[in-house]
Amino acid sequence: MRALLVYPECPDTFWSFKHALKFISKKAMHPPLGLLTVAAMLPQEWDKRFKDMNVEALADKDLEWADYVFISAMVVQKESVKKIVGRCKKMGVKIVAGGPLFTTAHEDFEGIDHFVLNEAEITLPPFLADIKRGAARKVYASEEFTDLRETPIPRWDLAPMSKYVSMNIQYSRGCPFDCEFCDIAVLYGQKVRTKTKEQILKELDGLYATGWRGCVFFVDDNFIGNKEKLRRDILPALVDWMEQRKHPFVFSTEVSINISDHEELMQLMVRAGFDGVFVGIETPDEECLAECGKSQNKNRDLVACVKKIQRSGLEVRGGFIVGFDHDSHSIFQRQIDFIQRSRIITAMVGILNAPRGTRLYRRMAEEGRLLEADSGDNTDFTTNIVPKMGRETLAMGYRKIISGIYSAKPYYDRVKCFLREYRPLEKKPFHFHPGHIRFHFGYAGALFKSMWSLGIWDKERAHYWRLVLWSLFRRPRLLPQAITYAIYGHHFRKVFQSCL
């Protein structure tokens, strides 16, 4: 049996970093961990090929070779999925689909032969058994959650690793919180399930053996969901592993804001090689936090929490949302002020959407405020709900925020303030990092490309040179980060060009 595993194309979004990747000659940020894990679950005797359409085009000869095309996708990739399905049907190739997009909305897709939904560790084996006896069903689903101790090591060898910025690894699934707008609890549950220390070290050994060095992203939706196990077991093991191998990787992940309550945990993460975390902050408004069930963010000085995390040596990348029912017209300036004061460079501000299966989706449906399906990209000015403040007011306010944080002057001011306050705990080699990640010395060419592109041809070149010269003379150790953030800004301005 010949299986072609296809990852659909992602549009140009906030997190694609497509406009930054050209500075380091990479094609995509990460390979699709889920699809490579599925590859490891397929029968050993099957022939397997992998095609990431964000890295290289899907050719007809690829489809001609395959007996089955396996597709995994997120909501933002649905347009690419439809094109792949059309091509497969035209060529008579059978399609097997899974992943978040299909788990929540498989009924929206015609032409797919088999749906393997929910967690593949549970639903893929019965599908494979039925394939073997020639009686495969249309849909395989389960409400159970898998024991991650059964999850195999991903088939990184199938992916063109040199084309990516970072490799991925997963330690846990699930989140102890249940925010109204979030579908993580729907997909993976509120009980945090984890891999063992031995599994994680074995996966890192596997990556290390391939020759990979540099960036590794823990894809966990909340890495600190089980804080005690991290503190006692996982992080000490990571510290030892990294020290024994002279720190070959730089880690980043996603956490909740309550990490700021745990000084020891933050210090352990930094010692283990973490240099950045994404935090869902959402809003500085207490009523909106209560509305969406973001209990972990309530009754806090959120700016102080962010700065405490950053003082520990973990750069905070933040998620923000506007369009809550309790948002007043003042929220737009309040979001701008918060982001500028907190010094969060990578601030993803999006308009509230209601993903399928979430409590917000059900509430909007009950209130008659649910519109067309969401695009999966909450930074594209669309929303699938009727906002109480009105869509036009919300869109105008959103434009105000984007202009207020990503126009050249406020953005470069924020970068300089962050670098002025940033005190990393350890000296690190010269490296560049877009998105979640850092790059090592081999990407020093990004400096010269940025000087040419941003320092000569960009209309905001005066801001670029002021930042570079300030860093060179005031914080020379942080010059690589200054260049990195200048490139970030270039990407963000491209993504939000219509606003700016």
* Inter-residue contact 381 to 395 (CB < 8 Å): yes
pLDDT of residue 498: 75
Are 169 and 134 members of one domain? no
* Inter-residue contact 336 to 403 (CB < 8 Å): no
Are 226 and 272 members of one domain? yes
* Inter-residue contact 66 to 59 (CB < 8 Å): no
* Inter-residue contact 343 to 418 (CB < 8 Å): yes
The count of structural domains within the chain is 3
Q: Report the SS3 class of residue 345.
A: coil
Q: Give a yes or no: residue 370 inside a domain.
A: no
Per-residue pLDDT, averaged over 364-372, amounts to 95
pLDDT of residue 426: 56
CB half-sphere exposure, 111, CA atoms < 13 A: 16
Per-residue pLDDT, averaged over 242-256, amounts to 97
pLDDT band at 427 (very low <50, low <70, confident <90, very high): very low
Q: Give a yes or no: residue 245 inside a domain.
A: yes
CA-CA distance, 182 to 189, in Å (whole number)?
Answer: 11
pLDDT of residue 302: 98
Boundary-marking domain end, from 317, 342, 367: 342
Q: Among residues 129, 127, 43, 32, which one has the least CA distance to residue 81?
A: 32
- Taking only the tens place, the pLDDT of each residue in 52-101 is 999 999 999 999 999 999 999 999 999 999 999 999 999 999 999 999 99
Helix axes 33-41, 120-132, angle to 10 degrees: 40
pLDDT of residue 440: 43
Are 126 and 221 members of one domain? no
Are 182 and 102 members of one domain? no
Are 271 and 172 members of one domain? yes
Q: Give a yes or no: residue 349 inside a domain.
A: no
Q: Give a yes or no: residue 229 inside a domain.
A: yes
Is pLDDT at 436 greater than 70 in this prediction?
Answer: no
Domain with 256 in it: 165-342
Boundary-marking domain end, from 140, 173, 205: 140
Is pLDDT at 288 greater than 70 in this prediction?
Answer: yes
Are 195 and 337 members of one domain? yes
pLDDT of residue 425: 61
pLDDT of residue 443: 59
User: Whole-prediction pTM value?
Assistant: 0.94
pLDDT of residue 445: 82
Mention every residue, 6+ apart, whose C-beta is less than 8 A from residue 54.
7, 9, 10, 27, 28
Domain of residue 210, CATH code:
3.20.20.70
Q: Give a yes or no: residue 121 inside a domain.
A: yes
pLDDT band at 433 (very low <50, low <70, confident <90, very high): very low
Are 204 and 336 members of one domain? yes
pLDDT of residue 162: 95
Helices marked H in 319-407: 331-342, 359-366, 391-406
Strand partners, 116: 140
- Give phi and psi for 115, each to the nearest 5: -110, 120
Boundary-marking domain end, from 308, 326, 342: 342
Are 215 and 298 members of one domain? yes
To the nearest whole number, what is the mean pLDDT of the chain?
94
* Inter-residue contact 345 to 414 (CB < 8 Å): yes
Is pLDDT at 437 greater than 70 in this prediction?
Answer: no
Q: Among residues 458, 456, 482, 485, which one has the least CA distance to residue 471?
A: 482
CA-CA distance, 231 to 226, in Å (whole number)?
Answer: 9
* Paired sense of beta strands 249-255 and 47-52, if any: unpaired
Q: Give a yes or no: residue 7 inside a domain.
A: yes
* Paired sense of beta strands 193-194 and 172-173, if any: antiparallel
Are 171 and 127 members of one domain? no
Are 98 and 193 members of one domain? no
Are 174 and 298 members of one domain? yes
Domain of residue 92, CATH code:
3.40.50.280
pLDDT of residue 434: 43
- Taking only the tens place, the pLDDT of each residue in 190-202 is 999 999 999 999 9
Q: Among residues 410, 421, 253, which one has the least CA distance to residue 337?
A: 410
Are 204 and 99 members of one domain? no
Is pLDDT at 130 greater than 50 in this prediction?
Answer: yes
DSSP category for residue 370: B
Q: Give a yes or no: residue 160 inside a domain.
A: no
CA-CA distance, 215 to 274, in Å (whole number)?
Answer: 10
Q: Give a yes or no: residue 452 inside a domain.
A: yes
CA-CA distance, 423 to 241, in Å (whole number)?
Answer: 25
Per-residue pLDDT, averaged over 97-107, amounts to 96
